[in-house]
Structure 1
């Protein structure tokens, strides 16, 4: 089925909805007790690298006091560490530890195992189509953020 450029907003809207539904379904199928905020925070650190608390709060779209509490818990657990900011000796950066990275990877593996039965029976062409779609979306998400300017 061919789509026109005019349909892109609707297609992207559906992609966002189905992506959220996939994530929720996978999480519901697991026995995980961690808050989704834990995984979002570790994932943000994985992709952003060491970052200041305010930057991490902005990435996670939570208030700074909320992030402070979450980071405190993650530091106590050994999943996040504070490191000196090489650009500013007065500041610290937050980074995921090896055990934090391992916990994130274990959680993702658990999610995949939980959702895999929902996708049994896909033929190779369907799997290839999903792989192509993921590649396209990932490539666009990795590109610099495009801004629209009004004339």
Structure 2
């Protein structure tokens, strides 16, 4: 058993999560007209196409009322638009606008710039090894979460 190493990893993950708000603050993508948490709805919308708010909430593991409020911010900022759901004309879906695609890119560029600065002293081989391990770790966590019968905790911010 690797209990000591696993405990260290759990502590480092907790440390990373605690730094989350400060990390987001360091990104400085500019004023995009919506809270950071709302902006984080754009990548899955961009990748998966238009989604109902309830489906987007499921993808994000967030409360639908929270996602609804965040979606309203995106629409108000012109980063997303509501469109009729072809499967049910009474429902609407959220879709990314061109401005939303540009906002996704600005956040991505800010994230890459910040990480480039943080990792400036790391050799490329170390970054590649860390990335490969982190990818494998995320795959394992996702697989475990798919098999866990318990409901996921909901994001409420």
Assess same fold via TM > 0.5: yes
1:1-151 correspondence runs (5 A): 4=2, 10=7, 13-14=10-11, 16-20=13-17, 23-31=20-28, 32-33=30-31, 34-58=34-58, 59=60, 61-62=62-63, 64=65, 66-140=66-140, 145-147=146-148
In structure 2, runs of 5+ residues without a counterpart are 151-157
Q: Is the 8 A contact 1:80 1:100 kept in 2?
A: yes
Q: CA deviation at 1:76?
A: 2.5
TM superposition score normalised by structure 1? 0.70
Give 1:81 deviation, angstroms. Answer: 1.5
Are the aligned partners of 1:26 and 1:111 in contact in 2 as well (CA < 8 Å)?
Answer: no
CA deviations 1:10-32 (Å, max 9, x no partner) are 46634643543564443232444
Query: What are the ranges of 5 or more consecutive residues in structure 1 without an aligned counterpart?
Result: none
Provide the TM-score with structure 2 as the length reference.
0.68
Deviation of 1:48 (Å): 4.7
* Cα deviation 1:107-143 (Å, max 9, x = unaligned): 1211221242221211233112112123314544665
What CA distance in whole angstroms lies between the structure 2 residues aligned with 1:105 and 1:147?
Answer: 33
Aligned residues: 145
Structure 1: how far apart are the matches of 2:16 and 2:48? Answer: 21
Counterparts of 2:41 and 2:50, CA distance in 1: 12
- In structure 2, relative to structure 1, the CA distance for the partners of 1:83 and 1:16 (3 Å cut) is farther
